[in-house]
Chains A and B, each alone.
Chain A
Amino acid sequence: MTVALDADFFRRWLSAVSAAVDREAERLTELDSAIGDADHGANMRRGLAAAVAALEEEAPSSPGAVLTLAGRRLISTVGGASGPLYGTLLRRAGKVLGDQESVEPEQLREALHTGVEAVAQLGSAARGDKTMLDALYPAVEALGDSGGDFGAARRAAEEGAAATVPMRARRGRASYLGERSVGHQDPGATSSALFFAALAETAGTAETGESA
């Protein structure tokens, strides 16, 4: 992994997340209409588009500043629970990265870990509650276990999201459905997996001379 994790990389990562959410918006909304209020796709799309626009306009110069600005935009534009949740994830991670110009994969892992812990605390949720945490925790752990392999993190996130299907929701609107929440993949875990898929893609396309 020779790619430089600088502000430009983080901007391209978030653009890739926005593109992935655009592509998958219908599926996210479909998943959310099964157990939620059918707004996850549209909410995430609006929030990420606003975040990407802000990043283009303000062009923050460090990875930490990119994440902080994007998180702030998500909080102010999403309008659903995913706004404060993803906003907190990115802002806390951004705070950990501070203002250094470029970061190591291990620093990114540590920052994301702090962000995920903050999300768990904000939502009073734990792993196994059928939430975004079921994709985020395995992804961050895989990032550590693999020594910074974004592909491994992506696979762990996707497996984590798929593993929410048999779970019974214990947080959010889906928790009111009780047993009826079983059998559907959690929309939040699904969008979380898109963040890591976009991370792997961004790292892949950033590598010059070797394919991901």
Chain B
Amino acid sequence: MSEANRQVGVVLVSHSRQVAESVAHMALGLAGGVAVPVAPAGGTGDGGLGTSSELITEAAHRVDRGAGVAVLADLGSAVLTVRTLLAEDELPPGTRLVDAPFVEGAVAAVVTASTGADLEAVAAAATEAYGYRKL
């Protein structure tokens, strides 16, 4: 089944371009060198702190392989912009905002996506990252 080879895409939306890029880099590194479609969408279009709907839309289309796209966002306008884009059908079909902590959730999502898991499993793994206690 060719669909089994299609990986879930992951989009990382942060207020900061550097945070989004670094978390993408870290999650891919921890996925053990397997190529996973991951795209950061951080900051405003001109590199400032904030959210760009264009960067998010572009990133979602870039990682879409037809198996769905998991979007993780940090806070405030990042979350609200993704929710608005979903409500207005601006993102590829099968795109979902995942309720997850940003860094831990991104690692869980990318590692899970690298195994060829479906969107449901990727989203669940990211959300489960909330349960990872540090004390």
Contacts and interface: CB of A to CB of B under 8 A. Distances in A.
A130 to B, nearest CB: 15
Interface in B13-66: 44-45, 48-54
Nearest to A172: B76
A83 B77 contact: yes
Contact of A80 (B45, B51, B54, B85): B51
B54 A84 contact: no
A83 B84 CA distance: 10
Interface stretch (A17-25, A26-34, A85-93, A147-155): A85-93
A158 interface: no
Contact of A122 (B49, B50, B51, B80): B80
A91 B49 CA distance: 25
B50 A88 contact: no
Contact of A75 (B45, B49, B81): B81
A180 interface: no
A88 B81 CA distance: 10
A76 to B, nearest CB: 5
A88 B84 contact: yes
Contacts of B77: 79-84
Interface in B72-109: 76-77, 80-81, 83-85, 87-88
Interface residues of A, number: 19
Contact of A79 (B52, B83, B85, B88): B52
Contacts of A127: none
B48 A123 contact: no
Contacts of B52: 76, 79
A37 B48 CA distance: 13
A75 B84 contact: yes
A83 B83 contact: no
Given A172-B76, A173-B76, A80 B50 contact: yes
Residue among B44, B52, B53, B80 having the largest count of chain A Cβ atoms under 10 Å: B80
Interface of B: 44-45, 48-54, 76-77, 80-81, 83-85, 87-88
Interface of A: 37, 39, 43, 75-76, 79-85, 87-88, 91, 122-123, 172-173
Given A83-B51, A122-B84, 8 more contacts: A75-B85, A76-B52, A79-B52, A84-B53, A84-B77, A84-B83, A85-B80, A87-B84
